[in-house]
């Protein structure tokens, strides 16, 4: 699988999001997903302390075991775990990383990300604390998530990456965050690349959602709109006319965007992991990208 850079890290173009661990799937299923991902060539695993109330990190660390050396772990801190554990004050940064290291069963985190901006703390204080962790060998690279272009500029290029929502259905980062990433050499990590499942092709106008799926559970009301279903039908026709699936188009379109380092997608089964792993192999041409823009504009 193709690899790209996040600072000093050489990550696979497709990463595994571990947000389902401890919430939608148990430890045994999480382990199967992890091992299948590694077997499929994925080396980049993204989680957060808040996922599954800490269980995502625990399940990931437990599943990796001796295979820890073969992969790169990204995790996040800052969202509310409880009244005492939240935010980005330097003292909490140090506490949060120790908690994550313990849950993950590792002595270092490859990419440590602040999960959301904290307006109560000057960003320089948080960055200084994060860079102390790098010097201590507990963290290799530092990143952020849900940051605006202005907040990236305020950080002065000290983050190696930014992880924001981005997909064919959510193109807001193109306004200013992606250009800022290109200008500053910051890697961009898109989350929700499949738009809460809409870009898998499982959800079609006039058809019932698959049993147990997000659509069946009533998730994603902002995504499952008539306008987006129009786009889905056009995108499916475009992809299938070229011998590809909608999911391959969703992944490969992101892979073709400037600054994107790894497309992070969650999975609840080994079949989903396998499908995702091969999702970014379609090399879209500039003409393809122009036609897509026109088709869904």
Q: Largest alpha-carbon pair distance within the chain?
A: 56
Quote the Cα angle for 294-296-297, to 5°: 65
- Compute the distance between CA of residue 275 and CA of residue 271 in angstroms, rounded to an integer: 6
Asked whether the beta carbons of 233 and 199 are under 8 A apart, the reply is no
- Compute the distance between CA of residue 208 and CA of residue 226 in angstroms, rounded to an integer: 15
**Is 51 part of the annotated catalytic residue set?**
yes
- Compute the distance between CA of residue 246 and CA of residue 283 in angstroms, rounded to an integer: 14
Quote the Cα angle for 170-291-293, to 5°: 25
- Compute the distance between CA of residue 95 and CA of residue 124 in angstroms, rounded to an integer: 18
Residue 87 neighbours by CB distance under 10 Å: 20
- Compute the distance between CA of residue 192 and CA of residue 263 in angstroms, rounded to an integer: 9
Which residue out of 51, 59, 92, 203 is catalytically annotated?
Answer: 51
Pairing type for strands 3-6 and 9-12 reads antiparallel
Pairing type for strands 72-77 and 44-46 reads parallel
Three state DSSP letters for 79-120: CCCCCCCCCCCHHHHHHHHHHHHHHHCCCCEEEEEECCCCCC
Could you list the active site residues? 51
């Amino acid at each position: 699988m193709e690899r790209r850079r996040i600072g000093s890290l050489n990550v696979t173009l497709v990463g595994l999001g571990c947000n389902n661990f401890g919430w939608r799937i148990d430890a045994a299923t999480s382990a199967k997903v992890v091992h299948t991902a590694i077997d499929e060539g994925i080396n980049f695993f993204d989680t957060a302390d808040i996922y599954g109330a800490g269980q995502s990190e625990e399940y990931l660390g437990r599943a990796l075991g001796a295979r820890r050396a073969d992969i790169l772990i990204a995790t996040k801190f800052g969202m509310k775990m409880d009244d005492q554990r939240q935010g980005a004050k330097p003292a909490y940064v140090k506490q949060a990383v120790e908690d994550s290291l313990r849950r993950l069963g590792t002595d270092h985190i490859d990419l440590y990300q602040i999960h959301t901006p904290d307006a109560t703390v000057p960003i320089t204080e948080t960055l200084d604390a994060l860079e102390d962790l790098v010097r201590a060998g507990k963290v290799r690279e530092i990143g952020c998530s849900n940051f605006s272009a202005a907040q990236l500029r305020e950080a002065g290029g000290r983050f190696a990456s930014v992880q924001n929502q981005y997909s064919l259905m959510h193109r807001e980062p193109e306004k200013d965050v992606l250009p800022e990433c290109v200008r500053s050499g910051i890697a961009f990590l898109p989350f929700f690349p499949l738009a809460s499942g809409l870009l898998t092709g499982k959800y079609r106008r006039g058809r019932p959602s698959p049993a147990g799926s997000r659509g069946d559970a009533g998730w994603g009301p902002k995504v499952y709109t008539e306008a987006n279903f129009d786009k889905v039908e056009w995108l499916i026709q475009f992809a299938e006319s070229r011998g590809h699936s909608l999911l391959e188009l969703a992944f490969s379109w992101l892979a073709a965007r400037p600054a994107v380092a790894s497309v992070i997608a969650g999975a609840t089964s080994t079949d989903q992991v396998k499908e995702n792993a091969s999702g970014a192999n379609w090399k879209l041409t500039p003409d393809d990208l122009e036609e897509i823009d026109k088709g869904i504009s």
